Amino acid sequence: MSAITTPHEQVSHQRGIRETKTPGRLQRLWRDIKANKVSYLFVAPFVILFLVFVVIPILISIGLSFTYFNMIEPPRWVGWSNYLTLFLEDEIFLIAVKNTLLFAVITGPISYLLCFVFAWLINELKPKIRTFLTLLFYAPSISANAYMIWTVMFSGDAYGYINGILLYWGIIDKPVQWLVDPRWMMPIVIMVTLWMSLGVSFLTFIAGLQGIDDTYYEAGVIDGVRNRWQELWYITLPLMKNHLMFGAIISITNSFAAAGQLQALTGSTPTDWATWTIMQHINDYGYVRYEMGYASAMAVLLFITMVLVQQLVQRLLAKLG
């Protein structure tokens, strides 16, 4: 970035290059800034909000993660102790880490694939059906708290729809405690998450596919593309690379931050902590116990993990093109 000037250069400018015809970098920069006053007015309101509500909170989190802070006394510096406690003493945190990774590794890629496969198949249909199916697949992700319905369907008594049907058909002989039995909790939570995961990425892929001009496919036939798989691999995917990268970002973010549906389905003290994730552990320490420093340390770790995974996946996808 050209905007960075070292203090050393700054000093050399102040020492009388002022009158020379070629102005120094800092002066040029200053002139550039003044010339673009209007642009700064345009970006200023949003950038200030972004700084106050996104950038500064990240910095505050990092700072607080090295303190003990309970909202009543001022923060007290404790060094790495929060991080050490997390890994050496907090067994539930380790379970949460395992669950979060398992959950993300399964829901992230599968939801990404589902988004693409459904978008690809839907795109070939006639416009009216296409519009209808797009709405149908997208609906669960926009309907506020729609996952609540699954708690009714998987309710542990015989009136729960799933239990009722299975009992009636004689597949089970007593109601299954779907949301309390650790063997079922994680699979159900993953299924519900996939159900509500055809969101922004899905729409992005639909739009990306619609934006590919038919002439590419016609040219492909001349160049020897023989079947649909070759068409997908040699024409569609390369043309959609940018959309695929954007979709990956959204899918990964969602898979790491899941908390709402988990809380709703398996409650705030799940059996054996079978569906407890880092995000829930953060909320628990932050809002229930008011241990803000400890909660911040977890948030910082989650933040770093997310960004690293994102960078890795973006690198991989960039290579595929």
Partner 1 sequence: MGLRISNRRLARSTGGNVAIFLFLAVGALFMALPMIYAISQAFKPLNELFIFPPQFFPRHPTLDNFSDLFILMAQSWVPITRYLFNSLFIVVMGTAGNVIFGSLCAYALAKHDFPGKALINSLILLSLMFAGSVLVIPRYLTMSYLNWINTYSALIVPAWSATLGVYLMRNFIDHMVHDSLLEAARIDGASEFYIYWRVVMPIVKPAWLTLIILSFQQLWGDQGSMFLYAEELKPLPYALSQIIGGGVGRAGVAAAVSVILMIIPITVFIINQSQIVQTMGTSGITGE
Q: Which is nearer to partner 1, 168 or 272 (CB)?
A: 168
Give the tokens for residue 227: 């079947």
Count CB neighbours of 111 within 10 A.
27
Task: Please report how the helices 91-123 and 182-195 are oriented relative to each other, as an axis angle in degrees rounded to 10.
Answer: 40
- Minimum CB separation of residue 215 from partner 1 in Å reads 10
Cα dihedral across residues 216, 218, 223, 227: positive or negative: positive
What does the alpha-carbon distance between residue 293 and residue 297 come to, in Å, rounded to a whole number?
A: 6
Q: Is 102 or 304 the residue whose CB approaches partner 1 more closely?
A: 304
Rounded least distance, CB 298 to partner 1, Å: 9
Residues in the chain: 321
| For partner 1, the closer CB: 208 or 270 | 208
CB closer to partner 1 out of 42 and 272: 42
Smallest gap from residue 79 Cβ to partner 1 (A): 19
Q: How far is the CB of 93 from partner 1 (least distance, A)?
A: 15
State in angstroms the smallest separation of the CB of 38 from partner 1: 5
As measured in angstroms, the least distance from the Cβ of 313 to partner 1 is 10
- Cα–Cα distance for residue pair 199/58, rounded to 1 Å: 26
Q: Which is nearer to partner 1, 10 or 131 (CB)?
A: 131
CB atoms within 10 A of CB 165: 12
Contact yes or no for 275/266 (Cβ under 8 A): yes
Q: Which is nearer to partner 1, 246 or 273 (CB)?
A: 246
- Hey, what are 294's tokens? 């400890």
What's the alpha-carbon Rg for the chain, to the nearest Å? 26
